Amino acid sequence: MLAGFRVLIAGLAAALAAAAQGITIDYPLDGSVFPPEITAPAFLWHGPSPASWTIGIEFADGAPEIHLTCAGGAPPPGEIDKRAISDTNQPPPAPTGHSWTPDAVTWAAIKKRSTGRSATVTISGGGARAQIRIQTSRDPVGSPIFYRDVPLMPSEVQKGVIKPLATAGIPLIAWRLRDIGEPRSRVVLEGLHTCTNCHSFSRDGKTLGMDVDGPENDKGTYAIAPVAPRMTIGNQDVITWNSFKGKPAGQSTIGFLSQVSPDGRYAVTTLNEEVYVANFKNYRFLQVFYPTRGILAWYNRETGRMEALPGADDPRYVHTDGVWSPDGKYLVFARAEARESYPAGRKLAEYAGDGNEIPIQYDLYRIPFNEGKGGKAEPIRGASRDGMSNTFPKVSPDGRWIVFVKCRNGQLMRPDSELWIVPAEGGEARRMRANTALMNSWHSFSPNGRWLVFSSKSRSPYTQMFLTHLDEEGRDTPPILIENSTAANRAVNLPEFVNIPPGGLLSIAVPAAEFYALFDHALELEREGRHEAAVAEWKKALALDPGNAKAHTNLGIALAQAGAEEAAMTHFRQAVQLNPFYAEAHNNLGVALVQAGKYGEAIGHFETVLRVNPDFAQAESNLGVALAQAGRYAEALAHWRKVLAANPDNVAVLVQTAWMLATCPEPAVRNGAEAVKLAEQAARLSGGDPGVQDLLAAAKKAEAAGKRR
């Protein structure tokens, strides 16, 4: 009897303990609003572990409730991409607690009966219960989401370069398109050997702009291409921001966070930038990057013009994150006082949020575009001068609101980054309800302006996508996870709504990127002296882009190095036919013609080079050689002297000039004294080269002969 009583008491105590423990519903959060087309979510909760759970859904219309039971097993762990496993990352955390995913019929009934009004979901089991209210919006999302799917496999790479993955990991990057009415996304682009990065679409979804790493490490390469179901990005769709005429000499530019205009006519970007970059081995936050200098500039697709934007081009400031208003009439951008990215003696940051990061806090500004003429930049009240860093603005499709990222330092993917909303004209800013506990960034408005997609690390170090609904007053709702966006050990970033119909984008081919990979491989083979292998790679590249003058020129160089001079000349000729203003091609063709004894034709090509680029010293020297070979000695001397006036230490030209002055068949051209002077200078610079010593002897002999005359 006593033993039975003890068993009863123990059971009661366990029940009371379970009831006291209660249930915490982790997802969805109370007040969540779902899009009408979204697939069923996984409801998640923590609590006791009874044999089964009861799910009840009560509707505001008074109709019969839905009641069912479920096992409430652990949430599914998600797929693992074995290719993305490395010694610099770890598996995602194992999910805990309980889960239930409605079947398609049940979820359809819940959405239908909760449209525009709340439904109460009750989860009970083990003597405990908890409730949340959810609702289905009348506003559809209405368009798919384009996003980048990346492995988090950090690698130490070049300082100052925004490239946290090693080269071998780049082909694992994929670009996906997700219709939230479908259970999974579709891969539209993958397997590239050069990095594609930040992107944007025109408002009508007909134009895509995307960063594409170009040949010879040109990080300023940018593609602007028409969107089609089976779209292709070829070399004809590509520009380089490094062609900007206002770029300081010897400096490269990347075109930071470029944005296509709503009508697809323009692109705006940050040029002449300095970027603070720190790459970490910690896969959770594997890099920090933000510009510390830079101006806004624009490109006109119709005219090819690339100009700085007046009012956003003051070198005392850094101007970045430029985005367009829906009508294209003004831009919103972030601005801060310019500073050095890597001041001497300052230690590089070792983790995101490290106090050694270069301190910078941006304010949001608004400026008229005015067909590229710019105007006065005005700070946006509520998103400036608040002791925080305000960046990455996005203007709502109706032009009424700006959603931006606020953090303590830098921009974008910061652990403390939060989404805030402010009236587009300026006013009181509000922290958005949709913010999660860790990193909120990379946001984009749906075409109808009622939904915002963004990225977060709140559930996993492997970044995921979330949605929130916004009403006409800019009030948002708790975050809704877009499930099954990628493998559990891969990250989602750069999500953007695309205003296209179903089937509007099925695949993207990027022969331009394939061409660049072949281009760089061929150059590497040339540097290694493997000329025949380089020839084969250049031919593969030209099969992708037969009209590329630079590839024809480089193939010609490789052929010449391999001893195929006639074939080399053929490709040099093709290069100048394709681009009559390509100075390097004319110069190489001129050299080949001199070697073939065709001096008159060679002279014409060298003269073309100097009309295109008067400062091309090698072409000036080569023109002198061609003229000398043609017996036009005085003219040859004039060109060599011009080279030496600019660079008195050019040994090759010193030698050429001294030989001419010492041995010219025309007595009027010979000048032994000057030949000795130039030969002595060449001897000092060459360190006693035997050939130069022979030259010096010939010069002294000519000098003596001149004195006897």
Q: Please tell me the total number of residues recorded for the chain in this structure.
A: 709
Query: How many angstroms separate the CA atoms of 586 and 573, rounded?
Result: 8
Whether residue 230 is found in the same domain as residue 296? yes
In a domain, 11, yes or no: no
Beta strands in 314-449 (DSSP E): 317-324, 330-337, 363-368, 378-379, 389-395, 401-407, 418-423, 430-431, 440-445
pLDDT of residue 709: 55
Q: Which of 509, 534, 558 is the last residue of a domain?
A: 509
pLDDT tens for each residue of 497-535: 999 999 999 999 999 888 888 888 899 999 999 999 999
Cis peptide before 28 (omega within 30 of 0): yes
Whether residue 129 is found in the same domain as residue 151? no
In this predicted model, which residue has the larger pLDDT, 554 or 5?
554
Q: Sorting pLDDT into bands at 50, 70 and 90, what band is 112? A: very high
Whether residue 127 is found in the same domain as residue 156? no
Phi, psi of 634 (to 5 degrees): -65, -40
pLDDT of residue 687: 75
Instruction: Tell me the angle at which helices 599-612 and 617-629 cross, rounded to the nearest 10 degrees.
Output: 160
Whether residue 343 is found in the same domain as residue 478? yes
DSSP 8-state class, residue 301: T
* Burial (CB count within 10 angstroms: exposed 0-12, middle 13-18, buried 19+), residue 139: middle
Q: Sorting pLDDT into bands at 50, 70 and 90, what band is 157? A: low
In a domain, 29, yes or no: yes
Whether residue 313 is found in the same domain as residue 336? yes
In a domain, 260, yes or no: yes
Domain that holds residue 244: 145-509
49: domain CATH number is 2.60.40.10
377: domain CATH number is 2.120.10.30
Whether residue 255 is found in the same domain as residue 149? yes
The set of residues, in sequence order, having a beta carbon less than 8 Å from that of 212 and lying 6+ positions away, is 194, 195, 196, 197, 221, 222, 223, 233, 238, 510, 512, 513, 516
Whether residue 395 is found in the same domain as residue 263? yes
Q: Sorting pLDDT into bands at 50, 70 and 90, what band is 159? A: low
Q: Which of 509, 536, 561 is the last residue of a domain?
A: 509
In a domain, 402, yes or no: yes
In this predicted model, which residue has the larger pLDDT, 244 or 668?
244
Contact 541, 519 (CB under 8 A): yes
In a domain, 193, yes or no: yes
In this predicted model, which residue has the larger pLDDT, 290 or 166?
290
The set of residues, in sequence order, having a beta carbon less than 8 Å from that of 427 and lying 6+ positions away, is 381, 382
In a domain, 595, yes or no: no
Whether residue 95 is found in the same domain as residue 160? no
Phi, psi of 248 (to 5 degrees): -60, 145
Number of domains within the chain: 3
Q: Which of 105, 136, 167 is the last residue of a domain?
A: 136
Whether residue 131 is found in the same domain as residue 152? no
Whether residue 237 is found in the same domain as residue 313? yes
Residue 699 has pLDDT above 80, yes or no: no
DSSP 8-state class, residue 165: B
In a domain, 409, yes or no: yes
- How far apart, in Å, do the first and last CA atoms of the chain sit? 142
For β-strands 418-423 and 238-240, DSSP reports them as unpaired
Largest CA distance in the chain: 142
pLDDT tens for each residue of 387-402: 999 999 999 999 999 9
Whether residue 123 is found in the same domain as residue 74? yes
Contact 478, 26 (CB under 8 A): no
The distance of Cα 46 from the centroid of its chain, to the nearest Å, equals: 40
Whether residue 259 is found in the same domain as residue 319? yes
In a domain, 519, yes or no: no
